[in-house]
């Protein structure tokens, strides 16, 4: 399925969302504690979408203010430059899709989003979030704190990227995101660490030989 030029692909709604609630609560729970009533209210208001492997969730140039939070699965962010697909991020279990978090000026998307595998995600518009935060002010506080943490993490990843060699970037990926290594084609991993597939191939061979 392919997203149209003007919006995020809607996805399908799973028959039961209860099974995914614990994933969200686990993520939230690291920060603070919510009452049962708050949890129930948040869950009732949650909009969960399922994307099939290969679904194009967002097209370059499309405008969306919708936010996604991956409960389970993998979404790839990429751009196309001189006809070449360049992967710029992967969002996996318990990760907000950070390129979508704040778009108040309704800028057209510079990237594509694609489901690498079957992916279940919460989807929300700023209006839905505002309504939820009005009902559950503590949830707004949690979201603020989580975005702050994510911000520092992302800046740290950016600094790691700038100060690392391609081999160091690959080793870091193997260490910090091992789930990606088998899940994702080599050419996507290669562009994500800023190199050509053949260079990644050489790096892997060298590492396998223990050089």
Residue 150 CB, nearest distance to a copy of itself (Å)? 6
Residue 149 CB, nearest distance to a copy of itself (Å)? 4
Residue 129 CB, nearest distance to a copy of itself (Å)? 10
Applying CB under 8 A, the residues found at the interface with a copy of itself are: 31, 77, 79, 81, 86, 88-89, 98-104, 110-111, 133, 137, 140-141, 143-145, 147-159, 161-163, 191-192, 194
Residue 24 CB, nearest distance to a copy of itself (Å)? 18
Closer CB to a copy of itself, residue 148 or residue 198?
Answer: 148
Closer CB to a copy of itself, residue 16 or residue 163?
Answer: 163
Closer CB to a copy of itself, residue 17 or residue 177?
Answer: 177
Residue written as token pair 């679904």: 55
Closer CB to a copy of itself, residue 54 or residue 102?
Answer: 102
Q: Which tokens go with 45?
A: 């208001």
Residue 141 CB, nearest distance to a copy of itself (Å)? 7
Residue 164 CB, nearest distance to a copy of itself (Å)? 9
Closer CB to a copy of itself, residue 84 or residue 179?
Answer: 84
In degrees, rounded to 5, the angle at the alpha carbon of residue 63 between the alpha carbons of residues 60 and 64 is 115
Dihedral sign (CA 39, 41, 42, 46): positive
Contact 85, 111 (CB under 8 A): no
- Determine what percent of the chain falls in helix, strand and coil, rounding each to the nearest 5: 45, 20, 30
Closer CB to a copy of itself, residue 54 or residue 110?
Answer: 110
Q: Write b or e for each residue in 74-110: b if 16 or more Cβ atoms lie within 10 A of its Cβ, otherwise e.
A: bbbbbeeeeeeebbebbbbeebbbbbbeebeeeeebe
d(CA 111, CA 88) in angstroms, rounded, equals 9
């Amino acid at each position: 399925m392919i997203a149209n030029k003007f919006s995020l692909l809607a996805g399908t709604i799973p028959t039961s969302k209860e099974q995914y609630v614990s994933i969200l609560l686990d993520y939230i729970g690291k920060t603070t504690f919510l009452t049962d009533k708050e949890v129930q209210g948040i869950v009732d208001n949650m909009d969960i979408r399922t994307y099939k492997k290969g679904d194009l969730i967002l097209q370059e140039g499309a405008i969306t203010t919708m936010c996604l939070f991956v409960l389970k699965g993998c979404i790839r962010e990429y751009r196309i430059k001189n006809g070449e697909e360049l992967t710029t991020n992967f969002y996996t279990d318990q990760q907000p899709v950070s390129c979508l978090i704040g778009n108040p000026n309704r800028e057209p998307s510079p990237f594509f989003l694609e489901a690498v595998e079957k992916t279940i995600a919460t989807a929300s518009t700023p209006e839905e979030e505002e309504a939820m935060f009005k009902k559950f002010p503590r949830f707004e506080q949690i979201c603020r704190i989580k975005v702050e943490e994510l911000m520092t993490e992302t800046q740290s990843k950016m600094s790691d990227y700038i100060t690392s060699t391609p081999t160091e970037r690959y080793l870091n990926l193997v260490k910090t995101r091992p789930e990606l290594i088998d899940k994702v084609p080599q050419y996507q991993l290669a562009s994500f660490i800023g190199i050509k597939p053949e260079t990644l191939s050489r790096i892997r061979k060298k590492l396998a030989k223990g050089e």
